[in-house]
A and B are shown apart, each in its own frame.
Chain A
Amino acid sequence: MDPTLKVAVPQHVMSRAVGDESVLLDLGSGLYFGLDAVGARMWDLMAESRTLGEVASTVAAEYGVEVARVEADLMGFLATLESRGLIEQASSGHDPQIRKTDRHEHL
């Protein structure tokens, strides 16, 4: 995992927080996706334009687990999101590409 990378939330994806968890809506397919508390926190941090390294270290600190373990979970999470078109291609962390629209709410 390149810790300097950031991911972008496509315009066609909405998210809404529900307690510690989140629900995503793909406006293109009409499909909904639920995120548990850890996934929602990762999503939140990514949507705040954090680098993947920052996401992993923040979650590791908050949950008291090793960064390496969180990085592994984060990679799996990213693969799932990407396969469903819920995030866009990662880009350089020095040039944030997070898209913000009136339909996207940061968690």
Chain B
Amino acid sequence: MIDSTLGEHRPQAPLATTPFHRYTLPDGTVWTEFHRTEAGYLLRFPGLADFHVSSDGRAVFAFPVPGVDPFTIEHLAINQVQPLALSRQGKPAFHGSAIAVPGGAIAFLGMSGMGKSTLAAFFARAGHGFLTDDGLLVEETLHGPFALPNHPSIRLWEDSLENLLDADAPRGAPVSYTSKIRLLASDSLPYCDTPQRLLAAYVMESGDTPAPKIAPLVGMNRVMGWLHHAFLLDIEDRDLLARHFDWTHRISSAVPTFSLDYPREFSRLPDVRAALLAYGNQLDT
């Protein structure tokens, strides 16, 4: 659990500290600065908001920049800050979407732009309730790793929306920093709100293939596939880094993991489903 508080709007004053880590966009723009504070961490999203995260990851205080709407703050909190804060609590979080299948759930691990939300929406339309379109939260249990439901919405680009959903599909409020559209869960886009045993994970590849391809990931490639998609707030905290390595190793060992590549064409998504069916029969309803 995270105790989240929305503070007052305020300008982003220059900080005396030097960020110990940064996320940058492909064009070099700084997306997130990571600073240490006396109480924990300050995550600065330039021009959008500052998020103060307690050292134990249990409390988050958001301070939007004047003019930034609450939906944008919610969006940042759910998709960016919450997974990082949970990592401070020792809770695994990964860049991934997840859908329900008979007996559990399967996850699609991928960084932004790899198509994991599109896949989640496609399968949800086919009746597989989605647990998350990003920020895959995993809980280790005596019965193996479980995927946890995150937020009942999926963010899609306009072209994905046009190809996958009806024009009148319920939408959430727009978010200021992206033109992605937030689709709310509905009868035609079902949401799975209960934890599901994680039956398999698919690491999404670049799409440079003429036909869907699935291959098992073994050995170092398997754990590396998970590590590459893991959220971790403070990579300089050696104790947490060690624990993070251990839990990722355990999860990757427990969940059959595959690479998944397919042409990024909407018309080929049924082929992806067929390939997954043929490979593991996990989608067979």
A contacts, CB < 8 Å to B: 12, 14, 16, 18-23, 25, 27-28, 30, 32, 34-37, 103
With A18-B252, A18-B253: A34-B238 Cβ-Cβ less than 8 Å: no
With A18-B249, A32-B227, A34-B224 known to touch, is A12 a contact of B238 (CB < 8 Å)?
Answer: yes
By beta carbon, the residue of chain B nearest A101 is: B242
- Tell me whether B241 and A30 are in contact (CB under 8 A): yes
CB distance from B242 to the nearest CB of A (A): 5
Contact: B219 with A21, CB < 8 Å?
A: yes
Known contacts A18-B252, A18-B253; A34 and B245 CB within 8 A of each other? no
Of the listed residues B220, B245, B246, the one surrounded by the most CB atoms of chain A closer than 10 A to its CB is: B220
Complex Cα spacing A75 to B156, Å: 51
A27 contact set on B, CB distance < 8 A: 238, 241-242
CA distance A37 to B275 in the complex (A): 30
Compute how far the CA of A74 lies from the CA of B130 in the bound complex, rounded to whole angstroms: 49
Q: Which B residues touch A22, using CB under 8 A? A: 220
| Chain B residues within an 8 Å CB radius of A103 | 242
Chain A contacts for B223, CB-based, 8 A = 16, 18, 23
Contact with A along B206-246 (1 / 0, CB 8 A): 00000000000011111110010000000110100110011
Say whether A23 contacts B238, CB under 8 Å.
no
Query: What is the CB-to-nearest-CB distance from A29 to chain B, in angstroms, rounded to a whole number?
Result: 9
Chain B residue numbers with a CB within 8 Å of A36 are: 219-220
Contacts of B221 in A (CB 8 A): 34
Tell me the bound Cα distance from A23 to B249 in angstroms.
9
Q: Once the chains bind, are B220 and A18 in contact (CB under 8 Å)?
A: yes
The answer, among B219, B222, B236, B241, for a CB contact under 8 Å with A25, is B241
Q: How far is the CB of B19 from chain A (nearest CB, A)?
A: 15
Q: Which residue of B lies closest to A16 (CB)?
A: B249
**In whole angstroms, how far apart are the Cα atoms of A35 and B223 in the complex?**
12
A12 to B218, CA, bound (A): 26
Q: When A18-B220, A20-B219, A30-B236 are in contact, do A25 and B245 touch as well, CB less than 8 Å?
A: yes
Known: A14-B245, A16-B249. A32 touches B224 (CB 8 A): yes
Residue of A nearest to B218 (CB): A19
B residues in contact with A18, CB < 8 Å:
218-220, 222-223, 249, 252-253
CA distance A23 to B224 in the complex (A): 8
With A and B bound together, what is the CA distance between A14 and B242 in angstroms?
8
